[in-house]
Amino acid sequence: MARKVALAVDLGASGGRVVSGAFDGRILELEELHRFENAPVSMAGQLTWDLPRLWQEVVAGLRTAGSRHGAAVSTVGVDTWGVDFSFLGPDGMLLANPVCYRDARTRGMLAAAERTVPRGEIFDATGLQFMEINSLYQFLALKAANSSILSAADRMLMIPDLLHWLLCGAVSNERTNASTTQCYDPRHADWAFGMLDRFGLPRRIFGPLTDPGTDLGILRPEVAVETGLHAVHVVVPGTHDTASAVAAVPAPEPPSSRPDWCYVSLGTWALVGAELDRPLVSAECLARNFTNEGGVGGTTRLLKNVCGLWLVQQCRAAWQRAGQGWTWDQLTALAAEAPPLATLVDPNDPSLVAPADMPEALRALAKRAGEPVPDSTGAVVRAALESVAAAIRRTLRELDELLGRRVSRVHVVGGGVKNRLLCQMIADATGRAVVAGPVEATAIGNLLVQIAGREGPIDLRAIRAIVRDSFEPERYEPRDAARWNDRLD
């Protein structure tokens, strides 16, 4: 068969890229066409995303795709992080740049929300992990501030929904990203309107939900002219980046209620969980603060968010500002030479959310926790990496209890796979085999859902067979589990 080319716009909180996937019916071949930085911008005391610049970068990547692949390109789809959004007005125009989830506007809103709707009832309605960054608390912050933007809003669009709207003009709310808002009911597969009414949030902003694989239509004429891509369809992937990444986990087993494998989608965040065939909304999930998010093919991603490589990313940024231009490989090498398991902290501690100086924040947290204060660059990085691995260990033990079995295999996917030291730490910390890869899981899942969506219903087993044929993972066996058990048990 003639090779089909799909385009994935994969946008993360620290950078984005446009990736092409050429598929010959069996093997998917990737090519990164354009890469760019992303970071929130402080404007008038508020952290916002620079959507116009991000759109310019997306168009630049599509233009490269047009010149490289031309008429072979058939589809494009966007995935991003969750929770963030903006609004369209009644005239169909964008009302404001989306605000970053790290902005301070949600501080105190979780407690305020629970004074209106008790915590247990919020969880029963949404099945979602409680984090103050969730969209629900962003909406409530706007309401508390009597926001003119919320008053004027006609439709809420998540970040990938906004980019799909810019690409083709379709107004849609894709399900996997909507499921991160804490406004979505996973058991009824719709917005949690009963709860939203109790908070006084306007129903009109929450539109009909769209499933992965849906064709939204062709590119706007002006986008086609600017990029050289004509008759290209915008096909919705799992627009939450973790939904796309999990779709590309090369596991042979179908979704079930008691899977024998779990995943860690490892990047800025480490999302640790299992793929289920139905939501698990229970008192035990609430007690452990697990979340039920939508997956591709009607699956549920039962998971917990753990801070991931954000700690090292922000350490590196602080050192760069001080004139120390460490590369990622250099930092990993320094960490490998530092003493093991000297300092462990909670990577999800609020003091590490957005500190001005991450290395100092880690040292201060270690001191408060009664842990040895890391005194070198390598020791700081090792403390960050081992703290993430220890948090993954704790989370997997909780997951075992929720599933009623000990999962035997950990699939690590995403950019963090490149950090072989951290992959080995995860194997050692958890005492389980780690299958690492593919690195580009998010883009791969995005691309294959687009391709499959043009053919009919999404078949996850067929998608994963393509992943296994196309990409070779790396396996890590535990080799220092006893040391971790002695340190943590």
Contact at 8 Å (CB) between 412 and 436?
A: yes
Contact at 8 Å (CB) between 224 and 232?
A: yes
CA distance 277 to 258: 9
Which residues on neighbouring strands pair with residue 88, listed in sequence order? 94, 155
Bridge-based pairing state of the strands 409-413 and 261-266: parallel
Residue count of the chain: 489
Side-chain half-sphere of 381: how many Cα atoms within 13 Å?
26
Which letter does DSSP use for residue 432 in this model? Answer: S
Side-chain half-sphere of 358: how many Cα atoms within 13 Å?
22
The two tokens of residue 85 are: 């959004």
* DSSP code per residue over 215-272: EEEEPPHHHHHHHT--S-EEE----BHHHHHHHT----SPPBSS-SEEEEEESSEEEE
The Cα-based distances of 281 to 7, 272, 303 in angstroms read 35, 17, 12
Q: With the C-alpha atoms ordered 255, 258, 260, 266, is the resulting torsion angle positive or negative?
A: positive
Among 250, 258, 253, 296, CA closest to 280: 258
CA angle 319, 350, 84 (to 5 degrees): 90
In the set 241, 346, 459, 480, the catalytic residue is: 241
Active site residue 400: no
Side-chain half-sphere of 318: how many Cα atoms within 13 Å?
18
Mind telling me the catalytic residues? 241
